[in-house]
Structure 1
């Protein structure tokens, strides 16, 4: 089961007595757990009906005792086991009988980074349909996430506005959710979030300046790229984060360049890479500024600068200045 399927079931009123949420996307795990607990127990009686354990500190008997305790003045109690991937094998074994027959008056929730589905504990959980995988979203899934976040705030968002937001933030779901919330407040009674709204809200952020740095570098606009670089350093931005923004942007240009070399029409490139038409023309033009071999050399430079910035191999500004100048002044692709 995915996090989205789990949240959909919750919204329909399904409260599972047993669930295990795992994966690398901690934002989805934490949000799903929060939504589950909000529906499972009365907040005013939480002190009486809620226990939290940590897998690296607890024994199975403690979890079982809490899960088998009847709720006080309420329909249900909840037990949350964090870092459940640290539970020892004997603890998982002791929990198996409960997993096979969980108490109807308890909502027992496990969270962890990973699971081993070869173990009997997880095989039994899977039979119950309570394993929820929270994967990190790929770039082509971000538009749907942003749209759903806007709907949750009572708004819709233009596809181009969502595209710009994902270009600015990447797949940091916590930050994307926060930015959509800010946009909803900024828009007030206006029902739809536009590109201009995103530009206005984001214009003062480091993410927007880093996006502009990458954009100007892709255009080989040295003057504006250095201006953006200076602004980022004045705002206290770290070199590895700037390199990350450049790497993400030029990875997209490289993919476009490959499709251009295969003579794919521009509209097909947009569909293949899920790039909104609002940005497609400019991105294709930037990709034409670089050959694939040149982009390959740039990624070697990104890696070198990233290592140097994290190991003290040069002054950060000097390092970044040299990188940006190198991108913008190399001979353009034919």
Structure 2
């Protein structure tokens, strides 16, 4: 610990808290917020002198807190980042808990942990009690569409509401995927200032729907060989992304099954399912290959696979192939 660290100093960046514990299910949202806090805390050009990063699994509390008590150089504040904070052992938590009671005013200590916050953790409890805990879960489709419109505006582009919703339909609800496609769209647009659904179709439409349709079509036909081939072709995607794509397709098909019993127009049906009208016929064709019971069974198995991936209960390399074989096999036979 640095004996000269002025714990009660009043930095110019007083709007920042001295500690943040960022946790939640959206890794990109956490990453962006950590970057925003870091930029707000540090003077431009002084980052190399005032930024230190640690890993919660391999770094000790003594190492982290020694850095936290170190004076900033040529800046009002310094930033100490602790990634994978959920890996901090309970036996290492007490020094952090004590620090949160009286943190150094010239340091912004940022913990990040992807996943649901462990409310039994001493550090998480202390962060919550001191107002330093910030939960950053994945946004729903409506909030993501608003985020996309605002992000496009920051880059001098006007993204229509319909185009933003189509973008989310194409990418899914993972912010990292939405941002990646939006960045691609900005480059594609060039000098064009107003972007509509046609721009999304031309630039982004192939990133999610085709693989999702191909996988659900193969499963609906009980064609395990083709389904596994689609999975292998998409193996460079993150497992949760591919699982999320398949889950979204299945939920839409289940909703279509339920709504098809009512007399509603195609536009109303598309709106209720959260899809664009021009995709409806393709979804209807796929839905016709499933019974309602099969889709309900599929949702349950998708949830189980999601849990396996997030908890590490089963190796990532076998979760999706096993799921595909289950959905294509005897467990979902038609009545």
TM-score normalised by the chain length of structure 1: 0.70
Is contact 2:250–2:298 with CA below 8 Å preserved after alignment? no
Per-residue CA deviation, residues 232-279 of structure 1 (Å, 9 max, x unaligned), is 97x944598888645532421321331343556767656655x36xx2
1:183 pairs, out of 182, 185, 194, with: 185
The equivalent of 1:294 in structure 2 is 291
Per-residue CA deviation, residues 125-170 of structure 1 (Å, 9 max, x unaligned), is 2243221112123344332232233223222222332232222221
Distance in 2 (CA, whole Å) between partners of 1:211 and 1:38 is 38
Is contact 1:250–1:295 with CA below 8 Å preserved after alignment? no
Q: How far did 1:68 drift?
A: 1.2
Q: How far did 1:21 drift?
A: 0.6
Structure 2 unaligned segments of length 5 or more: list them: 1-12, 306-317
The equivalent of 1:152 in structure 2 is 154
1:283 pairs, out of 280, 284, 297, with: 280
The equivalent of 1:164 in structure 2 is 166
The equivalent of 2:96 in structure 1 is 95
Distance in 2 (CA, whole Å) between partners of 1:312 and 1:116 is 28
Distance in 2 (CA, whole Å) between partners of 1:313 and 1:57 is 36
Matches within 5 A, 1:181-330: 181-202=183-204, 205-207=206-208, 209-210=210-211, 213=214, 236-238=233-235, 245=245, 247-261=247-261, 272-273=272-273, 275=274, 279-280=276-277, 283=280, 286-287=283-284, 290=287, 294-297=291-294, 310=321
Distance in 2 (CA, whole Å) between partners of 1:120 and 1:211 is 41
In terms of fraction of residues, the more helix-rich structure is: 1
Distance in 1 (CA, whole Å) between partners of 2:121 and 2:194 is 48
Distance in 2 (CA, whole Å) between partners of 1:313 and 1:74 is 54
Is contact 1:247–1:299 with CA below 8 Å preserved after alignment? no
Distance in 1 (CA, whole Å) between partners of 2:122 and 2:320 is 46
Q: How far did 1:308 drift?
A: 10
Distance in 2 (CA, whole Å) between partners of 1:52 and 1:143 is 32
Structure 1 unaligned segments of length 5 or more: list them: 1-11, 223-228, 315-319, 324-329
Q: CA RMSD for the aligned pairs?
A: 4.4
The size of the alignment, in residue pairs, is: 295
The equivalent of 1:106 in structure 2 is 107
Q: 1:190 and 1:123, CA in 2 relative to 1: closer, same or farther beyond 3 A?
A: same
1:174 pairs, out of 173, 176, 181, with: 176
